[in-house]
Structure 1
Amino acid sequence: MSLKNILKGTGVAIVTPFKKDFSIDYEALENVINYQIDNGINYIVTLGTTGETPTISVEEQKEIILFTYEKINERVPVVVGIGGNNTQNVIEHLQSYPLDEAVAVLSASPYYSKPSQEGLYQHYKAIASVSPKPILVYNVPARTGKSIDASTVVRLAKEVKNIAGIKEASGDFAQFVKIINNVPEDFLVTSGDDNLIIPQIAIGMQGVISVMGNAYPKEISTVVNLALENKFAEANAAYKDLVEACELMFNENNPAGVKAFMHEKGLLENVLRLPLVALSESNHQKIKNYLKK
């Protein structure tokens, strides 16, 4: 079965809960995992950038992966995030991390370096050649500083056997259409933008890897499922109440916004590792006011 079927629907890039002393809060992590699965999400992405991965040591990352497998216990598929702007370093992680129970690896494109399109192609070709699991390309130019062109994505999809899909968060619908229309039939194309899920599914994407799902797994899953059933009026109606939450969640940074929501829901301590800090008091109050409504 292709990843296009295995990872159809709602994936959630889960946060990493921390205690007040900044150590990993495994009890809260278990609660977050169960909250996702109990509320109907289709798969979990661990160690995505929403999980504050750049601040988590290699040893901690390996522990989180194993803990996640154990607590999920095969209830839903697991995708592991492994990316970076040092290709050799990514290769070493792919070769040494415990990936046996993962269905795929989500790998954000190299940040800051701003490689050429050929450099991006060669980066993904190199990591795919050693990865024990299929690679999902992650295009998020607002964070990396460089977009992966549709032509490069199509080239990777057609020429590199172990590149199996893409999480697209460029916000460029012309790019989305070019990718969807030109990649092989079994290539997964999924959304990376919570605020664009419905139109992206309407043009042919298979679902979303969500941030909002951390706090609203049932609601996001409902929207995605309705859209995948071509019930777009119902999907829009279901999403209407989430519009303000989405704005509040992303108005400062991610994951400070979603962690504030989750803290108010009793899922975790409102703690982030530097350079990220908790949401400003004024914006946190707006979230409290929204939740009271």
Structure 2
Amino acid sequence: MATPPPDGIYVPVPTFFSSFDKSAYKQPLDIPAQTEHTLFLASAGVKGLILCGSTGEAVHLSLGERVELISSQKKALVEKGYDNVVIMAGTASQNIDETVGVIRESKNAGASYALVLTPSYFAGAGGYSEEGMRSWYMAVADNSELPVLVYNYPAVTNNLQLSLSLMKHLSTHPNIVGCKLSHGNMSHHLILSSSPDIPHEKFRVFTGLGQQLLPLLLSGPGAAGAIDGTAAYFPKTLIRIHALSKKIAAANGNVSAEEWKEVHALQCAFSEVEEWVVKFGTIGIKEAVRKVLGISVGQEGGRLPFCESHVGKEWEKFKPVFEAVQEYENKL
């Protein structure tokens, strides 16, 4: 039976690009900027990175570019003594053969886990059933060379929401070790973290929304942590929320008033700054990496058709909430 990833904070990192190259009709990868960001996150103490996920614009990358990203970042982590930082690879493919192939290449490049996004092309046309989706995931897990985490993100999968009955069934597969839930349904988080029908020791629940971390970690034994975009520039704050929340859960809430006050203040501030990502998504994360960390993300930010020109104009409106979390981050 496969081993789940360690509990903690993981970052779905954006993919950094250089300026548009007319001869190639695209923005080339910017490996130096990618490595600078990777090492910043590793030094802050995150448990792992998700490369080539939704935030990493996997759908805008070739397989060769995905392999280059993973191998280059794995090499940088090992060279700097951060070989304990876990790499999860996104798949974002619609068919089983391609998904399994992407996982194989990702493993060879240095990934330890596969974050498998739900296939969804025909979801809006009524083409999927729970039985079909279950069989798809089971086939991927049967043939995957890496342990699998189910990635439920309705916003990028034609609003396809995986049912609780399906998730419970998938949790029993020996090669499926957890899930990332990128939706606002806390009831599903709680049930999947607490249900007696799920083997919590090997199926771990990660929220994709850092604003839900405190309630998730207090919800049940299967709660593991967060895979969160705002942690791309404020990792220490979310790591601190995780540590306090785990301590509170282990003590059945019997901790000092000061610790309760701190975790509530941190979660509130972090949730407010998350509204930036709620509004601007991947491009917003890149803009914040540029503004907060001073790392160049290229003039265009994301790959076309992404365009970040509208994002910078909104920065001043959000600046106070960024400054509030930055104060916490500096203290940590």
Q: Same-fold call, TM > 0.5?
A: yes
One of 209, 213, 237 as aligned partner of 1:197: 213
Question: Paired residue for 1:249?
Answer: 277
One of 278, 281, 286 as aligned partner of 1:259: 286
1:292: how far off? 5.9
One of 176, 191, 198 as aligned partner of 2:189: 176
Alpha-carbon distance in structure 2 between the residues aligned to 1:242 and 1:279: 25
1:210: how far off? 1.0
CA contact (8 A) 1:201 1:207 kept: yes
Q: Report how many aligned residue pairs link the two structures.
A: 290
Question: Paired residue for 2:35?
Answer: 30
Q: 1:259 to 1:2 in 2, by over 3 A?
A: same
Question: Paired residue for 2:168?
Answer: 154
Q: 1:279 to 1:138 in 2, by over 3 A?
A: farther
1:98: how far off? 3.8
One of 129, 134, 139 as aligned partner of 2:147: 134
Q: Deviations over 1:170-224 (max 9, x none)?
A: 3222222332212113211111112211111110211001111101111111111
Q: 1:2 to 1:127 in 2, by over 3 A?
A: closer
**Which region of structure 1 is more displaced relative to structure 2, 110-119 or 25-34?**
110-119
Question: Paired residue for 1:283?
Answer: 314
CA contact (8 A) 1:103 1:134 kept: yes
1:77: how far off? 1.5
1:8: how far off? 0.2
Rg larger in 1 or in 2?
A: 2
Q: Deviations over 1:203-247 (max 9, x none)?
A: 021100111110111111111121111155422212233233211
Q: 1:291 to 1:150 in 2, by over 3 A?
A: closer
CA contact (8 A) 2:11 2:231 kept: yes
CA contact (8 A) 1:85 1:113 kept: no
CA contact (8 A) 1:198 1:232 kept: no
One of 217, 242, 245 as aligned partner of 1:224: 242
| Aligned residue identity for 1:264 | K
| Aligned residue identity for 2:129 | S
1:124: how far off? 0.8
The 4+ residue runs of structure 1 with deviation greater than 6 A are none
| Aligned residue identity for 2:112 | V
Identity within the alignment, %: 23
Write the mapping of 1:76-115 to structure 2, written as runs, cut at 5 A: 76-99=85-108, 101-114=110-123, 115=128
| Aligned residue identity for 2:98 | N
Output the TM-score relative to the length of structure 2.
Answer: 0.81
CA contact (8 A) 2:89 2:106 kept: no
CA contact (8 A) 1:41 1:217 kept: yes
Query: Which ranges in structure 2 are unaligned for 5 or more consecutive residues?
Result: 21-26, 249-258, 325-332
| Aligned residue identity for 1:165 | G
Output the TM-score relative to the length of structure 1.
Answer: 0.91
Alpha-carbon distance in structure 2 between the residues aligned to 1:192 and 1:216: 15
CA contact (8 A) 2:2 2:147 kept: no
1:100: how far off? 6.5
Alpha-carbon distance in structure 1 between the residues aligned to 2:117 and 2:313: 32
Question: Paired residue for 1:238?
Answer: 266
Alpha-carbon distance in structure 2 between the residues aligned to 1:140 and 1:64: 23
User: What SS is found at the alignment partner of 1:133?
Assistant: coil
One of 53, 61, 72 as aligned partner of 2:58: 53
Query: Which ranges in structure 1 are unaligned for 5 or more consecutive residues?
Result: none
